[in-house]
């Protein structure tokens, strides 16, 4: 924020950065090669819905668009859930080897919101991974910063996360993804749909 904006009490809503999301498929390959974590094929986009019909219409158009994939049989229908914090999650489920298709779906949601002027409402995107012993790992993409961070929930109720695993994944993917360097911004998304 500029000096003038501060003086005048204005905030410019932050526009999302979308391009870095496309680094995900190659990062998934790297992760699979260097650890036991494989993509589950599901991923989600989380955004803050705006009140009013305009936004609801746009959201419906996006889900209709994505459900066309489902009719072709390459993916399951999109799930729409609202979490207890009032954020909306669109969950897209693909085959576990089709991470390209998943990222394309997620990007369709992003561009629909951005093209209609609702870009600042995007919060994060989450792509789920799992290893042989069923440990869960999410790669979370923060739209406003254009960075990724790992989120490994262990116990939702006790709100425990596996920091060791997260740091390890950070090291593994440092060359492939722009990892969020400020650890204070690795905020947990407990009970995120699509994990």
Q: How far is the CB of 123 from other proteins (least distance, A)?
A: 6
We find the least distance from the C-beta atom of residue 188 to other proteins, in angstroms, to be 8
Q: How far is the CB of 27 from other proteins (least distance, A)?
A: 20
- Does an H or E element contain 39, and which? strand 38-48
CB of 28 to other proteins, least distance (A): 23
- Residue 40 or 121 having the CB closest to other proteins: 121
Over the Cα atoms of the chain, what is R_g?
17
Cβ-based nearer residue to other proteins, 37 or 47 = 47
**C-alpha–C-alpha distance, residues 120 and 61, integer Å:** 19
CA angle, residues 158, 160, 164, in degrees to nearest 5: 165
DSSP 67-113: HHHHHHTSEEEEEEEE-TTSEEEEEEEE-TT-HHHHHHHHHHHHHHH
Residue (20 or 98) nearer to other proteins, CB: 20
Cα–Cα distance, 89 to 55 (Å, whole number): 14
Report yes or no: 87 and 124 within 8 Å, Cβ to Cβ: no
Cβ 52 to other proteins, closest distance in Å? 4
Closest to other proteins by CB, 120 vs 150, is: 120
- In the bound state with other proteins, the residue whose beta carbon lies nearer, of 97 and 115, is 115
Q: Where does this chain bind other proteins (CB under 8 A)?
A: 1, 6-15, 48-55, 84-87, 114-121, 123-124, 142, 144-145, 159, 184-185, 187-188, 190
189: Cβ contacts below 8 Å, ≥ 6 apart: 46, 124, 126, 138, 140, 151, 195
Smallest distance from the beta carbon of 167 to other proteins, in angstroms?
A: 18
Q: Are the C-beta atoms of 13 and 114 separated by less than 8 Å?
A: no
Q: Judged by CB, which is closer to other proteins: 57, or 64? A: 57
């Amino acid at each position: 924020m500029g000096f003038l904006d501060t003086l005048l009490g204005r905030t410019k809503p932050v526009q999302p950065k979308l391009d870095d999301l496309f680094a995900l498929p190659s990062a998934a390959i790297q992760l699979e090669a260097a650890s036991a974590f494989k993509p589950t094929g599901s991923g989600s986009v989380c955004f803050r819905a705006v009140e009013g019909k305009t936004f609801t219409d746009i959201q419906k158009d996006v889900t209709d668009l994505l459900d066309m994939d489902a009719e072709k049989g390459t993916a399951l229908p999109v799930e729409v859930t609202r979490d207890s914090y009032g954020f909306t999650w669109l969950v897209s489920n693909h085959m576990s080897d089709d991470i390209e298709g998943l990222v394309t779906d997620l990007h369709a949601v992003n561009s629909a919101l951005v093209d209609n002027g609702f870009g600042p409402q995007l919060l994060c995107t989450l792509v789920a991974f799992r290893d042989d012993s069923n440990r869960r790992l999410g790669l979370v993409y923060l739209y406003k910063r254009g960075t990724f961070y790992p989120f490994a929930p262990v116990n939702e109720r006790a709100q425990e996360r596996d920091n060791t695993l997260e740091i390890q994944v950070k090291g593994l993917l440092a060359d492939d993804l722009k990892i969020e360097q400020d650890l204070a911004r690795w905020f947990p998304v407990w009970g995120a749909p699509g994990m």
